[in-house]
Structure 1
Amino acid sequence: MTHDTYRNAIAWIRVLRPLVWGGAALLLLTPWVAMRFTDEVAWTGGDFVVFGAMLLAGCVAFETTARVARVPSYLLAGAISIGAGFLLLWANLAVGIVDEPGHRANLLFLGVLVVGALGAGVARLQARGMSRVLVAMALAQMAAGGIAMGMDTQESPTFVLAFTGLYVVAWLLSALLFHKAARALAAG
């Protein structure tokens, strides 16, 4: 890894940090503003607390990734996986991926995030290990989608297949970028 590569990673972090935190603040304010103009959005205090906690967790995950990142590919892999994980949790809690949020099939998709969180701890956020964790998440996503399609649901199997495919691509892209980061760090 060259000194310029490290400086590029730091430069990207400086650009992304205010965007991440500012974007989180705007996302939290959006439903509050929407509630002023329409009755279609009716969040409770609990909704804001849960969403705020999710946003805080995503921002802290970004900060942790930023501290560990020594190459831009690691930072990008982290950003993709954090963003995908955030959206997976948000969709699951807000409307449910399969039928309503309380449907038991949705627990399978939350299991993908558990695989990621536990795997990241075991890998200690090291690029090579994170690459393997993201491959495991892609496999868990495929299993969750396959099992969910076989369950008694009102959801279209085509939707579950497309949803699953989109996330498998995101997890595998992150895995590839973590792998690239591991190679760059080893060459370094």
Structure 2
Amino acid sequence: MTPTAATALRGHRIRIAAWSVAALLLLTPLVAMQFTTEVVWTPGDFLFAAIMMGTVGLLVELAVHATSDWSYRGGVMIAVAVSFLIVWINLAVGIIGSEDNPANLMFFAVPLIAGAGAVIARFRPLGMYRAMIAAAIGQVATFAIALVAGWAFIGPITLGFTFLWLCAARLFYTAAR
């Protein structure tokens, strides 16, 4: 087998494994519902989860096919993962209080900042770097607003998300060099 064929086969296996993990994650609540009444998902919940996981998978696939630069790929993977986490956590339990708290709406702005910045930058590495910096600033702004408004102390989660945005930014900066 040629080195190129071996690399393609390995890549194919990684893709199959990644999509299989997504499917297993999606089936986990279904299995849990068979053993406990604390997990109650509707068909709409499963559909939404499938759309979210499918979107993550497709964005990562696009990044992998768009470039062979591992820094760029890593930046995309981190940015997509942190966006997914912000949306998922916010919708599932809420970051400030419950998921019904209107203050949580400001957290949706952060992935939108990153996404809009990426589109404006036409997905070029240096522009992506700037978009991730803007997202990190937006993330810190959510902390400042919550602190000033007296809603909740969200320092640890804000610090974690900001760190991830800055990691993505650093990887895009490396890809731009």
Please report the TM-score for the alignment, with normalisation by the length of structure 2: 0.90
CA contact (8 A) 1:105 1:151 kept: no
Q: Deviations over 1:50-76 (max 9, x none)?
A: 111111111111111112222111111
Query: Which residue pairs with 2:176 in the alignment?
Result: 182
Read off the aligned partner of 2:79 and give its amino acid letter: S
Displacement of 1:135 in angstroms is: 0.4
- 1:16-31, aligned counterparts within 5 Å? 16-31=14-29
Which of residues 48, 65, 68 in structure 2 aligns to 1:70?
68
CA contact (8 A) 1:73 1:178 kept: yes
Flag structure 1 segments of 5+ consecutive residues without an equivalent. Answer: 1-8, 184-188
Query: Which residue pairs with 2:55 in the alignment?
Result: 57
Which of residues 155, 160, 165 in structure 2 aligns to 1:161?
155
Read off the aligned partner of 2:46 and give its amino acid letter: F
Could you tell me how far apart the structure 2 residues matched to 1:75 and 1:35 are? 36
CA contact (8 A) 1:116 1:133 kept: yes
SS in structure 2 of the partner of residue 47 of structure 1: helix
Could you tell me how far apart the structure 2 residues matched to 1:17 and 1:11 are? 10
Query: Which residue pairs with 2:3 in the alignment?
Result: none
SS in structure 1 of the partner of residue 34 of structure 2: helix
Q: Deviations over 1:120-161 (max 9, x none)?
A: 1111111111111000000000001111222353x4x1xx01
> How many percent of aligned residue pairs carry the same amino acid?
37
Could you tell me how far apart the structure 2 residues matched to 1:37 and 1:60 are? 32
Flag structure 2 segments of 5+ consecutive residues without an equivalent. Answer: 1-6
Could you tell me how far apart the structure 2 residues matched to 1:108 and 1:12 are? 41
SS in structure 1 of the partner of residue 94 of structure 2: coil
- 1:110-121, aligned counterparts within 5 Å? 110-121=108-119
Displacement of 1:40 in angstroms is: 1.0
Query: Which residue pairs with 1:4 in the alignment?
Result: none
Displacement of 1:108 in angstroms is: 1.0
Displacement of 1:20 in angstroms is: 2.7
CA contact (8 A) 1:24 1:55 kept: yes
Which of residues 42, 49, 70 in structure 1 aligns to 2:40?
42
| Higher alpha-carbon deviation: 42-51 or 135-144 | 42-51
Query: Which residue pairs with 1:139 in the alignment?
Result: 137
Aligned residue pairs total 173
Read off the aligned partner of 2:119 and give its amino acid letter: G
Could you tell me how far apart the structure 2 residues matched to 1:22 and 1:105 are? 35
Please report the TM-score for the alignment, with normalisation by the length of structure 1: 0.85
Could you tell me how far apart the structure 2 residues matched to 1:133 and 1:60 are? 20
